[in-house]
A = this chain, B = another copy of it.
């Protein structure tokens, strides 16, 4: 057994990761790298077998690393000190019974979803703490047990309810290429990420363009601006500041094809409901029209339907 973490920090975490997608496997890789105990829970039993049998293969920069991990189908979930929820928001509902079965006053939940629809779930109590996180890394799953990190960003985390020593976490999880930043205001943190996602993701999916094109094409930039304007108004954020952030992300990721675009290209369900769907619902509740968000929400929803037909 790898004792690095304990040797280094006198502290080795027992972490469960729910979700065998790109983000789940990325976190598993970095946690293994830091010497923690990692158990991955997957929807498909075959993936769990593959991960346990062949190890987790992590492509990063030019190098390849391989980690031994424990993986089980979600039905076999057990309690952990920290449980990282790395499934898409629309999969949270199916997960709910399993989470209930392992709810313990000693366990902390870390939610890594896009959007804000899952915020409702934060009200659940009985956990030691609930922490929200937003991931700015890019990662792509190559097969059931292989991922490649495609972009280097950071993870922001923020305490939602309960008590959790985020600074200790940060010290132990943090390592080269995997910075973690602690934020005071989880709602603002999620709102800001939502604004970035609500503009870039659906427009790239509709127009089938890499992120940068939204900036360099006057017409697309104008649409992006309208979407950001609506979202910042609705979420009480500073429009100008958020626009600068959206522009910065577009520039930084200009070659990237967004996850929503690749989801559409592969006829997969997207996160449109959690992102623009959330804003449309919030607009309706508050009687604030958000037609540009409504347009992309209906567009991507319609495109998902075409893909399935």
CB distance from A227 to the nearest CB of B (A): 10
Question: What residues of B have a CB within 8 angstroms of the CB of A301 in the complex?
Answer: 219
Indicate with 1 or 0, residue by residue over A289-309, a CB within 8 angstroms of chain B CB atoms: 101101100110111011000
A263 to B131, CA, bound (A): 50
Q: Is A70 close to B, CB under 8 A?
A: no
CB distance from A178 to the nearest CB of B (A): 36
Q: Is A223 close to B, CB under 8 A?
A: yes
**Is there contact, CB below 8 Å, between B298 and A213?**
no
Q: Is A13 close to B, CB under 8 A?
A: no
A302 to B222, CA, bound (A): 10
A298 to B305, CA, bound (A): 24
Question: Which of B222, B298, B306 is in CB contact (< 8 Å) with A298?
Answer: B222
Residues of A in contact (CB 8 Å), total 23
A181 to B182, CA, bound (A): 71
- CB-nearest residue of chain B to A290: B291
- CB-nearest residue of chain B to A223: B298
Question: Which of B302, B305, B306 is in CB contact (< 8 Å) with A223?
Answer: B302
- CB-nearest residue of chain B to A289: B291
- CB-nearest residue of chain B to A230: B291
Given contacts A223-B298, A298-B223, whether A218 and B305 have CB atoms under 8 Å apart is yes
Q: Is A243 close to B, CB under 8 A?
A: no
Q: Is A207 close to B, CB under 8 A?
A: yes
**Is there contact, CB below 8 Å, between A305 and B219?**
yes
A309 to B209, CA, bound (A): 12
**Is there contact, CB below 8 Å, between A299 and B217?**
no
- CB-nearest residue of chain B to A213: B306
Question: What residues of B have a CB within 8 angstroms of the CB of A27 in the complex?
Answer: none
CB distance from A305 to the nearest CB of B (A): 5
Q: Is A90 close to B, CB under 8 A?
A: no
**Is there contact, CB below 8 Å, between A305 and B217?**
yes
Binding site for B on A (CB under 8 A): 206-207, 209, 213, 217-220, 222-223, 226, 289, 291-292, 294-295, 298-299, 301-303, 305-306
The 8 closest A-B pairs by CB, nearest first: A219-B302, A291-B291, A219-B298, A219-B301, A220-B302, A295-B295, A217-B302, A223-B298
Further pairs besides A213-B306, A222-B298: 8, Cβ < 8 Å = A207-B303, A218-B305, A219-B298, A219-B299, A220-B302, A223-B295, A226-B291, A226-B294
